[in-house]
Structure 1
């Protein structure tokens, strides 16, 4: 006789939040009452087979997900790019996916050694005591430890970050108010990028911004300890400043700026792979143009309708993370685990798994296959 599957109520909550549903939403879609959903999530009642099947069908999560035990991750503050505009619902959806990313990383890291973390010493200061000099120094130090000279553009930032121990993935969601989320989990930094169809330069700035949080804000235990004004005017501003110093080193950028004519910024964009608007901001921050000149350039950008789409946005290639995909393929191709067994071990929905790993997942079924002999890939 088949034993009844164990049910972890926390997993139902996680799946519901990840899909952006309230208890009422899930109840209506599954034909169950809101109160019954609440009872399931608090552990007062275990769903019967028929009810669980309804929930699985609506949420599109595999059955084994609901018996898994994906722990809450408590180490390190979570930073959300575009914090002020993002709703709590969207932030919560992204937080769940960050947990899924970590679970996938933990399973893959059983079989493959990920790159060592190579970052400069983290800043331990109170956010109000971090100066622009501190930020510029850390941006310069990151270039140094990553082998980038002080005058050259950063080539492929995503690949470079992955090579130096930062785990990056795309999230299976899109929201124009939330570009990215980052967090130290245990002893490694993770960045999850929202799939917003953003331009190459915006994605690069987003990643550099999150690296700023990772390096500058190690003393922050929770963003909820700060007011929305502090988040915007201090923490987010510092991360933006870091991204600017890292992608556009002040002296090298100044030397390249032979003209402040807007059309010249278009040519510079191809070289630095940074948005025209970010370069105008940098020019002003260096004192190379005054307030009136900056206002004039920004008005011209608006008139040309470049606020949302700039020249070369369709030509510059968007950088994609591929470390997790390469690790996944390494495990399968070296017969460490059969593909189906590895897929099942994640206990994740196919759509979430494919987006996080960045590859199509084949042989996604429940057939039992023989376990091969394991070995460690170095």
Structure 2
């Protein structure tokens, strides 16, 4: 049968296995696995069957065309190991392929990602955020549903368990902008991460390496996009726990980000900001997340596509799994369990 050695590496890394661990699970010598992944040794059918069983991917998964791992920018809560990073990249690569396969049956919103190059256009990330608000005709004040706004402008948003990663922005094989968000995060962190990753698409994709701190630039972009300085400043003069709670509920951003905005705009002092952060730490907000004061936003593009396959094209779940070269376990985890890529209730 046809076999593509690159898919073996992808499947192995998506499970978080080293070659040694796959050897232990499959009973295939590690040296043999290494030679197969490097293309130095072909894999007979009986070995592919062993890999299929050990990795819980159907045999035809390993016959697909070569995958190109997603590349892009990500926001992370902390540094992560190389092994974990490979696992998340492999998972996102597989999910991106799911989208690329399924999108052939639908007409997608045309991507509308404004571009701002600080080296050419000048200014700063905050100006870029205001530029995007103008291009997307966003009214003054808060953005009520950022996910809906982003997807309406042709950027696919997907929720996935990304472990230590908060988010990741990339372009798919069909050059469609994609933002992955960690479904473990709180609603306020999800929104800020989405704005942060949008900042990478606007500020950094297709631009020359400029040596600046891209993560800080994306952070500044997100802050201004969600909380335009001119609009929010009048509300930041008398901050305390009560007003911070009310502001979080209205602006749909974290209390920490609002306090940081107040410090940056000079409505509170550095000392006041320090004591607020100290209080957040004492309450466990910086470790475990702040109280959920609003519902998390739900992406819809991919869920609508899947619903179309199930309801209009009359695919069964088994047929969908076969189309996507997935086991039923993976199909259920990625597409049908709540708060994975999205939630679909059909059995």
Other structure's SS at 1:260 match: coil
User: 1:258-303 CA distances to partner (integer Å, 9 max, x unpaired)?
Assistant: 4122331111111011111111111111111221121122122223
For residues 273-284 of structure 1, the aligned pairs below 5 Å read 273-284=252-263
Shift of 1:360: 5.6
Shift of 1:63: 1.2
- Residue 69 (structure 1) aligns with: 65
- Residue 100 (structure 1) aligns with: 94
Residue 318 (structure 1) aligned to one of 265, 290, 296: 296
- Residue 38 (structure 1) aligns with: 34
Shift of 1:339: 5.5
| Cα pair distance change 1:174/1:73, threshold 3 Å | closer
Shift of 1:353: 4.0
| Structure ranking higher on relative contact order (CA contacts 8 Å, 6+ apart) | 1
- Residue 265 (structure 1) aligns with: 244
- Residue 163 (structure 1) aligns with: 152
- Residue 324 (structure 2) aligns with: 346
Paired with 1:60 and 1:360, the residues of 2 have a C-alpha distance of: 23
- 1:256 correspondence with 2:240: no
Residue 142 (structure 1) aligned to one of 110, 122, 132: 132
Shift of 1:149: 0.9
Paired with 1:236 and 1:130, the residues of 2 have a C-alpha distance of: 19
Shift of 1:68: 0.7
Paired with 1:130 and 1:236, the residues of 2 have a C-alpha distance of: 19
Paired with 1:190 and 1:110, the residues of 2 have a C-alpha distance of: 16
Length-normalised TM-score, structure 1: 0.81
| Cα pair distance change 1:113/1:347, threshold 3 Å | same
Shift of 1:218: 2.2
CA contact (8 A) 1:123 1:218 kept: no
Paired with 1:288 and 1:362, the residues of 2 have a C-alpha distance of: 50
| Cα pair distance change 1:44/1:204, threshold 3 Å | same
Shift of 1:44: 2.8
Residue 202 (structure 1) aligned to one of 189, 213, 232: 189
CA contact (8 A) 2:318 2:328 kept: no
- Residue 367 (structure 1) aligns with: none
- Residue 190 (structure 1) aligns with: 178
Q: Which runs of 5+ in 2 are unaligned?
A: 336-340
Other structure's SS at 1:7 match: coil
CA contact (8 A) 1:276 1:310 kept: no
